[in-house]
Amino acid sequence: MKNYKLILGQNIRAIRNEQKLSQEKLAEISSLHRTYIGSIERGERNISLNNIVIISKALNIKLCELLEGIE
C-alpha cells in the first residue's frame, strides 16, 4: 500500500524547493504554521482537503500538481 501522505508531502517539498521558498515563507504565505508544513512534507499529517487547497494556492499551482503520483 502506498503512503499517500508521504507522496503529497514530497510533492509539496519538491515544488516549494523549485520555487526557492523556505518552509517559513510557505507557512507565511499560506497562513499555516511552519512546523505544520514540515510535518506535512515528512508525511506525518493527514492533511485536510481545505489545507491542500490553501497550499496549492500559496504555491500558485493547480491542485492536481500536488496529487501527482497518487492513483
Please tell me the pTM assigned to this model. Answer: 0.93
Spatial CA neighbour of 30 closest among 14, 18, 12, 46: 12
Is pLDDT of 67 > 90? yes
Render pLDDT for 1-55 as a digit per residue (tens, 0 to 9).
789 999 999 999 999 999 999 999 999 999 999 999 999 999 999 999 999 999 9
Q: Which pLDDT score, from 0 to 100, does residue 2 have? A: 86
Burial of 12 from C-beta contacts in 10 A (0-12 / 13-18 / 19+): buried
So where are the chain's domains? 4-66
Per CATH, domain 4-66 is 1.10.260.40: yes
Cα 42 from chain centroid (whole Å): 10
- The owner of cell 504554521 is 33
